[in-house]
Amino acid sequence: MKKAIAFLTVLVMLSSNAAAAAPASPAIAAGSYDMSITVDLSGSGKAISPYIYGINEYGHQDDLKKVTATALRQGGNRMTAYNWETNASNAGSDWKYSSDNNLSASDAPADCVQQLSKEAEKYNVGYKLTTLQLAGYAAADKNGTVTEAEAAPSERWNEVKLTKGGAFAESPDLTDGTVYMDEYVNYIIGILGDSQTASGIQGYSLDNEPALWHNTHSRIHPNRVSAAELRDKSVEMAAAVKKLDPNAEIFGPALYGYTAYDHLADTDSDTEWETIKAEGGYHWYIDYYLDSMKKASDAAGTRLLDVLDIHYYSESCRNGTADRLQSVRTLYEKGFVENSWIGQWCQTNIPILPTVQASIDKYFSGTKLGVTEYNFGGDDEVSGAIAQAEALGCYADAGVYFASLWGGSGYILSALNLYTNYDGKGGCFGSTLMPASTEDVSKSSAYAAKNDDASLITVMVTNKELTTPEHAVISLSGAKKTYQKAAVYMIDSTSTDIQYVDVYDVSGGKIDLTLPAYCAAMVVVSDDENAFADAKPEEQTLKSAVYDAPMDLVNKNGYVEIPITDPAHLKQIIITGDVTSSAGSQWGSAGCAVCINAVTPDGTKFWTSKGYSLSLGTGSKAIVEFDGTLNKKESAEDTVGTDVEAVIADGKVELQQWWSSSEKQEANIADTVSVKYTRVEVIYSYTGSGEAVRGDVNADGKLDSADAVMMQQFLCTEGTLTDWNAGDLDESGKINAADLTIMKRLLLAK
């Protein structure tokens, strides 16, 4: 068996910027440029909605533990034909028009929204938004692909009616061939409470991207949606929700992008929109929708649209790094011309967010703005963090009420955390936005905020220069307090993780620092001289074991088996593989899992897994994270589970492939997507030198009385162990009184 194991020790710190003492005036790096950044603290500022730091649930369940999100949306194409009575859903054109159990394996009514509520509670997410179905039909079964011949109406579909017009059933009738949406809302309120309860649903979206139904869901809505159809369905559904839960917020119409903002789903051969536009004197479709919902609200005597819901996927980002770094400017900067068809042909409506707000102000004042899907790309490079950081600042400045990232990993999620948990201790961007400016937004952008008592000022700064450091002087103009110290947290090309840089003196209301090229940073300024005394994290030592021939590690079960020599300190498994398609697909992916036999400190064993995917091609990479907890599910239907303190029980994991998707498979052509693993790196993380100390249950690098106290508290069920693997001194697989006895002997001998 060919195996090469290399141990590397790395101190995780930003050596180019970290210093033993806080520099009052750092030396300017060679080749750097000067940037003056001004923060105006003289006024009262404007409140930032706490719900702009949201994510979409779909595809992010595994990310919730590593990203601090404030809002959670349950939406996307899968929700358009979702059947709440059985949890069947249809993928539409995304995947073979398959009706299946993708959203939930449970047959219990409304399981998906119940799991949404549990996830939000588990990860302390304050706002939950789910989707209601308006397209006309929902999946009737979980039996796989729906052919064109089985398009609705057929036995593969149940008709969707927005209002029942009669008494709601305690449990849905599975034999009537009909799914009632107001009955769904009533059921949600019955099991979770209304929108004012902690477990209830705060917002309801009027379906998802209706302008694309004829493409994404042609089996149930083959024709383009008309303005009249969407108006009438929106009004009926919103009125039904408000009758049941008056305080719930209605989001609509979930427009997929710029073309839908302008003319919904109209074409040159269909004159409906042109007629409406001329008769109403509207600028674009958004005007008409707002005006229609305002008139319907006036007639109903209650607001039927709380949040105008749009999606935004940057067109210029498709061109790569340079364009991504400038892409957010289309949302906020008048006169900016991005490198895309939007930049070439749509300057009338640039910047987009102020133009949308002008429509709101004119046609339905008081309506909030939501961007419930967006993504600027760049998961694997710093440009993704820079664009994400700038987008969140832009949303705050534009008064966006709700925003939820679709997809995203790596650098993108770290940039979200830069706003919501920059120090790993809950440190977040301020609640009130204050004016901030740089001399040249093409090189650097900045957004600033203060906390409730202005004791902290947070300044998000980007350096968009790919190779040139930025010497920045941040001036706090009009400050009513004397600020003393500034701590800097940063994302740069060395790691997707947020890194602590250093603490700087504030002199004369100015912070003088140099940022490396190509980075996003959060500068946290305090009026407390001692605010950041403990900001510097403990030094961590990383050790890695590299397996450069994983296919030689195939076990008797036919899976690659990777040794895990120190489960208690496992940080990451980095998996690299070549993914091939037997049918010659141009795109595809393999859905895989790290399969684990786990054990808790009390000896309870269970099976679990951590999912990852590899894309078609050579050298596809996935990173699987470990944090000392593993997810324990109580049953096969438990889609959330509980994160419990646990480690790998038997010193090994298996790499298994569970599913695949590809271009050819979507065309119903047999295609085997195979993974050949080419490299697996297992990384262990230690505090201090990295030398394991027997009995060091508090993981401080030494064995002393503090470990005995922690062990005693644990055995009395009054505490937990930082490293319980180190406490299993009798090697019995659990912590017991015998371990404490051995520890006392070791301390006496010491």
Catalytic positions: 209
How far is 116 from 103, CA to CA, in rounded Å? 11
Would you report the helix, strand and coil content of the chain in percent, each value rounded to 5? 25, 30, 45
Residues 6+ apart with CB under 8 A from 326: 316, 336, 338, 442, 464
**Residue 730 CB coordination number (10 Å):** 14
227-244 and 272-280 are packed helices; what angle lies between their axes, rounded to 10 degrees?
Answer: 70
Starting from the edge strand earliest in sequence, which strands make up the sheet with 617-625, in order?
Answer: 10-11, 540-547, 673-687, 570-581, 617-625
Half-sphere exposure of 176 (CA within 13 A, CB side): 11
Cα dist from 386 to 161, 382, 442, 684, whole Å: 44, 6, 12, 29
Sequence-distant (6+) residues with CB within 8 A of 424 are 498, 537
Q: How far apart are CA 565 and CA 595, in angstroms?
A: 16
Length of the chain: 750
Sheet holding 98-100, edge to edge: 89-90, 98-100, 144-145
The one-character DSSP state at 92 is G
Distance CA 730, CA 739 (A): 6
Which phi and psi (to 5°) does residue 353 adopt?
A: -65, -45
Say which residues have a Cβ less than 8 Å from residue 184's Cβ, sequence separation at least 6: 84, 110, 132
Angle between helix axes 227-244 and 181-192 (nearest 10 degrees) is 30
Q: Which residue has the tokens 């047999």?
A: 670
Residue matched to tokens 């900045």: 446
Residues 6+ apart with CB under 8 A from 748: none
Q: Tell me if 505 sits within 8 A of 485, measured CB to CB.
A: yes
* 493 touches 321 (CB < 8 A): no
Separation of first and last alpha carbons in the chain: 42
C-alpha–C-alpha distance, residues 524 and 504, integer Å: 10
Please spell the DSSP secondary structure of 186-241, one letter per residue: HHHHHHH--TTSSSS--EEEE-S-GGGHHHHTTTT--SPPPHHHHHHHHHHHHHHH
Whole-angstrom Cα distance, residue 518 to residue 392? 18
Q: How far is it, in rounded angstroms, from Cα 716 to Cα 341? A: 66
Q: Can you tell me the distance from the alpha carbon of 273 to that of 228, in angstroms, rounded to the nearest whole number?
A: 10
Cα torsion angle, 92, 93, 98, 101, sign: negative
Say if CB 586 and CB 621 are below 8 A apart: no
Residue in 464, 458, 369 with CA at minimum distance from that of residue 422? 458
Q: Is 583 helix (H, G, I), strand (E, B) or coil?
A: coil
Radius of gyration over every alpha carbon of the chain, rounded to an integer in angstroms: 28
CB 498, CB 14: distance < 8 Å: no
Q: Which two tokens stand for residue 371?
A: 């961007």
